[in-house]
Amino acid sequence: MKILIIHLGTLSQIIPATSIIKGILKKIENPFITWTTWNKKDTYIFKYNTDIERIISFNQLKELDETFDILINLFPRFPHEKCKKVKIKNALDYEFDKQFKKFADILIGEKIISNMNIFQVYYKLSGLTWKGEGYSLNYSPKSRTKHHRIGLGVAHANLRNYVNEHLKLKSNKIWHIPYKKNIFKRMDEINRCYKIVTDDLLTFHLAMALRKYVYFLETYPLNIKLELFGKGEIHKIPKRILQ
């Protein structure tokens, strides 16, 4: 069965969406999965995922002349009209040639979207039921975890003082995570720590994918609930801290 998955969002949105691959493999035997991202550079996140047969950018999708059995659209603002030769036999919750709706409109039957975590949302959009499945990056870090090291990755300098004053972490254990443009080298750096403190969603998801205990510093209201898998804490940061 040929499945087309589309997610044209950022890496911090795509990474938790990879979880649906586990759900698809449980439900469909030997699926041929094509995953589409907006930018070609974002396809790199699937480098080690052998469960996806083909990873393409949106520009590549526009050039396809192909028929898919199922469309799973995880990005409702997907400009489907530009894919003139792509044919879809079955699209979940909406027609391929109709105007796409907002997430809240698609999730019919649920109480409110804020009661769902990000994994539940993506599984709902995929016609699946989330049963606790996690990320599907399939990357094994080259680094070793140091159990005396707490990784700090924050964008705002004032958050460092907040960490020292409110999280009760020993300052001599805190290690500033060096920035790495390459996503897997960044995971290697994160894996050097047994706990992570961050205000960055991408770092949060990478750390959770590595099963680290994460202190997430929420500096602005999130439009969807994060899932901690019992290994983390969310701290809402007062605005005065960032001023």
Q: Are residues 150 and 236 in the same domain?
A: yes
Q: Are residues 108 and 214 in the same domain?
A: no
Q: Are residues 119 and 24 in the same domain?
A: yes
Q: Are residues 71 and 161 in the same domain?
A: no
The whole-number pLDDT of residue 222 equals: 84
How many domains, in total, are found in the chain? 2
* 25 found inside a domain: yes
What is the distance of C-alpha 214 from the center of its chain? 15
Q: Are residues 188 and 93 in the same domain?
A: no
* 228 found inside a domain: yes
CATH at 209: 3.40.50.2300
What confidence tens digit (pLDDT) does each residue in 78-104 have? Answer: 788 888 899 988 876 555 555 555 555
Helix axes 201-209, 183-191, angle to 10 degrees: 70
CA distance 7 to 14: 7
CATH at 6: 3.40.50.2000
* 79 found inside a domain: yes
The whole-number pLDDT of residue 106 equals: 54
What confidence tens digit (pLDDT) does each residue in 51-72 have? Answer: 999 999 999 999 999 999 999 9
List the domain range (segments joined by +) for residue 223. 146-242
CB–CB of 31/68 below 8 Å? no
pTM score of the predicted model: 0.90
Residues of the chain with pLDDT under 70: 92-114
* 181 found inside a domain: yes
Q: Are residues 189 and 118 in the same domain?
A: no
* 205 found inside a domain: yes
CB neighbour class for 242 (10 Å; exposed up to 12, middle 13-18, buried from 19): middle
The whole-number pLDDT of residue 108 equals: 46
* 131 found inside a domain: no
The whole-number pLDDT of residue 110 equals: 46
Mention every residue, 6+ apart, whose C-beta is less than 8 A from residue 179.
186
